[in-house]
């Protein structure tokens, strides 16, 4: 039973997904003064084969919009996605073929399951769309249910309301796997679950990644989970990438003040190290009229006059580690050493 196989094309060194200068703006319409929300602004990054890329940032920073554009549920205004060497939407990789290789798991486990379909029907839907017979798709759905730890004899014919949150999220994962994807976008997929259930689902995700050779884009606001799961981490602020790098480097030697503020807001496991002062004050500025220059300068403790004029680009600050801060870039004329003491307890 191998109805379609999504095979590796470009070899392990070629990035699985290259995101090039992605822009997604939302136009609010004449009634709201024709304002434009710059949800995702000029975002570029790569997802390597077999890795887990964590995406973190405050709510409203464009994480979910990025995820929806990656899944092509939203069309980008400009920019391109290159999947394993082929531009998405080109004749060599039409949208339908791309969607077979990339799947998504949503945050709300209940809203992402049709209340009128049984678990089996929900999981089997995708394969039937691609021409697999109903019987075969159902059989595979039951196989996947077992695979994500749900007894098919008990769960195949149940409706979503008869399942717990953790069980539903397992079904959602099974539905994503039914397309035999190479990449899975997990948009806050475990955030709504109880801590104990969350741990089980995370274990399941790790196991599936290993056995099925998957690549994850893991979006979350929980830095502990991101650190545990991710190989590399991407930090977003107001629709832009401010830092991207290997997980450990980011946690121990973060080069952007925003990343550091995020890290110091992490609750510590040690009561002696509790966070006493709020690392960031106020809400992020509105993405409708983001600050000029560096978008973070309004809240940045290290901001200089130049920060409100010059827009910093991502530059290498270490091995595979890029940051978009004028003050932190070693070859920048504005460079100054920023103390790393603030994050010492995290490391």
The per-residue b/e assignment along 127-152, b for 16 or more CB within 10 angstroms, e otherwise, is: bbebebeeeebbbbbbebbebbbbeb
End-to-end Cα separation, the chain, in angstroms: 47
Supply the DSSP symbol for 314: P
Distance CA 237, CA 191 (A): 20
Closer CB to another protein, residue 131 or residue 271? 131
Q: How far is the CB of 11 from another protein (least distance, A)?
A: 18
180 binds another protein (CB under 8 A): yes
Closer CB to another protein, residue 63 or residue 180? 180
Q: In the range 46-75, which residues lie near another protein by CB under 8 A?
A: 68, 71, 73
Supply the DSSP symbol for 171: H
Candidate list 179, 225, 262, 307; residue touching another protein; CB under 8 A: 179
Q: How far is the CB of 169 from another protein (least distance, A)?
A: 12
Q: How far is the CB of 130 from another protein (least distance, A)?
A: 7
Candidate list 60, 79, 149, 318; residue touching another protein; CB under 8 A: 149
Distance CA 124, CA 130 (A): 10
Phi, psi of 122 (to 5 degrees): -60, -45
Nearest C-alpha neighbor of 145 from the set 137, 155, 160, 133: 155
Give alpha helix (H) positions in the chain.
Answer: 63-70, 95-101, 119-129, 134-147, 152-155, 165-178, 195-212, 223-229, 247-252, 257-264
Q: Which stretch binds another protein (CB under 8 A): 19-27, 29-37, 99-107, 309-317?
A: 99-107
Q: How far is the CB of 158 from another protein (least distance, A)?
A: 6
136 binds another protein (CB under 8 A): no
# residues near another protein by CB under 8 A: 54
Q: How far is the CB of 177 from another protein (least distance, A)?
A: 6
What residue ranges bind another protein (CB under 8 A)? 1-2, 5-6, 68, 71, 73, 95-97, 99-100, 102-104, 106, 108, 111-117, 122, 125-126, 129-130, 139, 142-144, 146-147, 149, 151-154, 156-159, 161-162, 172, 175, 177, 179-180, 211-213
């Amino acid at each position: 039973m191998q109805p379609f196989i999504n095979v590796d094309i470009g070899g392990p060194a070629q990035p699985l997904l290259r995101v090039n200068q992605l822009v997604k703006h939302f136009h609010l319409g004449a009634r709201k003064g024709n304002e434009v929300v710059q949800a995702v602004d000029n975002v570029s990054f790569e997802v390597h084969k077999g890795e887990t890329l964590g995406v973190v940032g405050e709510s409203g920073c464009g994480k979910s919009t990025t995820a929806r554009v990656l899944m092509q549920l939203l069309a980008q205004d400009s920019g391109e996605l290159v999947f394993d060497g082929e531009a998405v939407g080109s004749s060599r990789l039409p949208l339908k073929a791309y969607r077979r290789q990339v799947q998504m798991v949503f945050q709300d486990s209940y809203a992402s399951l049709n209340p009128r379909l049984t678990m089996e029907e929900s999981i089997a839907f995708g394969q039937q769309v691609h021409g697999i017979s109903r019987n075969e798709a159902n059989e595979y759905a039951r196989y996947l249910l077992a695979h994500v730890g749900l007894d098919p004899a008990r769960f195949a014919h149940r409706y979503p309301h008869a399942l717990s949150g953790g069980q539903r999220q397992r079904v959602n994962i099974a539905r994503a796997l039914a397309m035999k994807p190479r990449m899975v976008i997990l948009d806050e997929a475990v955030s709504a679950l109880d801590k104990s259930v969350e741990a089980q689902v995370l274990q399941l995700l790790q196991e599936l990644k290993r056995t099925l050779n998957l690549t994850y884009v893991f979006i979350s606001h929980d830095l502990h989970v991101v650190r545990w799961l991710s190989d590399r981490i991407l930090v977003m602020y107001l629709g832009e990438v401010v830092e991207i790098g290997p997980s450990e480097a980011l946690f121990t030697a973060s080069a952007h003040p925003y990343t550091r503020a995020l890290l110091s807001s992490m609750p510590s496991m040690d009561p002696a190290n509790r966070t006493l002062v709020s690392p960031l004050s106020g809400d992020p500025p509105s993405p409708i009229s983001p600050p000029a220059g560096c978008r973070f300068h309004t809240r940045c403790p290290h901001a200089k006059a130049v920060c409100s004029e010059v827009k910093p680009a991502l530059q290498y600050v270490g091995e595979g580690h890029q940051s978009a801060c004028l003050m932190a870039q070693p070859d920048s004329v504005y460079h100054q050493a920023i103390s790393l003491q603030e994050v010492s307890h995290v490391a």
